[in-house]
Amino acid sequence: MRTIFHPARSDLELSAILHALSDEIRLRVIKKLHDQGELFCSAIEIEIPKSTLSHHFKVLRESGLVHTRIEGTTRYISLRREDLQARFPGLLDTILSLVNA
């Protein structure tokens, strides 16, 4: 099985996270994951081509915002809340409060 890159907690960089959050689609994904918890990728219903959504998942994963878990042929995606809170206290809550405003 193919392994997927996830940066270690200590390797999370604020610039990469802010870059990932600079896109409206990725913000919508983060909001859905916050509201609904772990989801399989196709359950994140955003009306864009699948390949484009996959690209956004990759940017979010490589920045350290989300974790992707593979089970069979299904990919599940979840927020890395604990890692983000440990590395950048309050950042995720602040971003989500601004998205919800």
For residue 73, what is the domain's CATH number?
1.10.10.10
If phi over 0 gives left and psi between -120 and 50 gives alpha, with beta otherwise, what is residue 44? Answer: beta
Say if 92 falls within a structural domain: yes
What is the CA 20 to chain-centroid distance, rounded? 8
Say if 2 falls within a structural domain: no
Can you give the residue range of the structural domain that contains 54?
A: 9-100
Of all residues in the chain, what percent carry a pLDDT higher than 90? 80
Q: What is the mean pLDDT of the chain?
A: 93
Say if 4 falls within a structural domain: no
Q: Give me the number of domains the chain comprises.
A: 1
Say if 88 falls within a structural domain: yes
Helices (H) and strands (E) in the chain, counts: 5, 3
Say if 93 falls within a structural domain: yes
Per-residue pLDDT of 25-70, as tens digits, reads 999 999 999 999 999 988 888 889 999 999 999 999 999 999 999 9
Say if 1 falls within a structural domain: no
Say if 3 falls within a structural domain: no
Say if 74 falls within a structural domain: yes
